[in-house]
Amino acid sequence: MNKNIEVRELGRKDFKTTWEYQEDLFKHILDTKVKNRREDAGLQTSNYFLFVEHPHVYTLGKSGDISNLLLSEEQLKEKGATFYKINRGGDITYHGPGQIVGYPILDLDNFFTDIHKYLRFLEEMIILTLAEYGIVGTRSEGETGVWLDVGTPFARKICAMGVRASRWVTMHGFAFNINTDLGYFDNIIPCGIRGKAVTSLNVELGLEKVDEEEVKSKLLKHFTTLFEAELIQKEVV
């Protein structure tokens, strides 16, 4: 069992390019698992954690409803945004500048084979990070992600999640609003859930800007503890 996870910082990258990059890493892990099964090759499978920031983009999960996108093709262009229907779970969400997007591409055979536990651990990583800023993040029953003030009229989502898994290999992940322009969420029904707002860390803290590198450091600290992993940092150009 390989509990080493290679952290790759991608910087700001186009969504489609990053999606293809994820697929390549995902396929490499799957191919290794197939070889091990067929040939008893005994090869270790790799694990990755990608950090990225995307230009304005809306993505719709495989079970999502296109009517939750409230913009026409022309309006998307006017806003400098793109749209993709993709192969993760969940409905529609927004990615853009000021948001920390994390894509763990893990072979869960190296950790535990339980996709629900995996999602709960990702949520817990966000909850523990928020707690370091004095913010109480919680789960909302039946709704993946991390929320504030659940059960009140002021419930709002601060982190969305959507993953894909095959043979216990994961891809896609979470989108944590840090210094995000929340106006872009007005163009969708986020995650297909009506009547609930979204928020960001800088809004909740009343700050103009939060240090995103500091947030990433806290996320990785909690991720390492939860998954009992060893992290290897790698810059990707």
Catalytic residue among 148, 191, 201, 215: 191
pTM of the model: 0.94
> Does the annotation count 191 as an active-site position?
yes
- φ/ψ (deg, to 5) at 59: -125, 140
Is 54 one of the annotated binding-site residues? no
Residue partners of 195: CB distance under 8 A and separation at least 6: none
Domain containing 92 equals 4-235
Would you say 38 is a known binding-site residue? no
Domain CATH for 205: 3.30.930.10
Task: State how many domains the chain has.
Answer: 1
- The per-residue pLDDT for 193 is 61
How many other C-beta atoms are found inside a 10 Å radius of the C-beta of residue 64?
A: 21
The pLDDT value recorded for residue 85 is: 92
102 among annotated binding-site residues: no
User: What is the CB neighbour count within 10 angstroms for residue 3?
Assistant: 14
Q: Write out the two tokens for 201.
A: 């860390």
Per-residue pLDDT of the chain (237 residues; tens, 9 = 90+): 899 999 999 999 999 999 999 999 999 999 999 999 999 889 999 999 999 999 999 999 887 889 989 999 999 999 999 999 998 987 888 999 999 999 999 999 999 999 999 999 999 999 999 999 999 999 999 888 999 999 999 999 999 999 999 999 999 999 999 999 999 999 988 655 666 799 999 999 999 999 999 999 999 999 999 999 999 987 665
160 is in an annotated binding site: yes
116 is in an annotated binding site: no
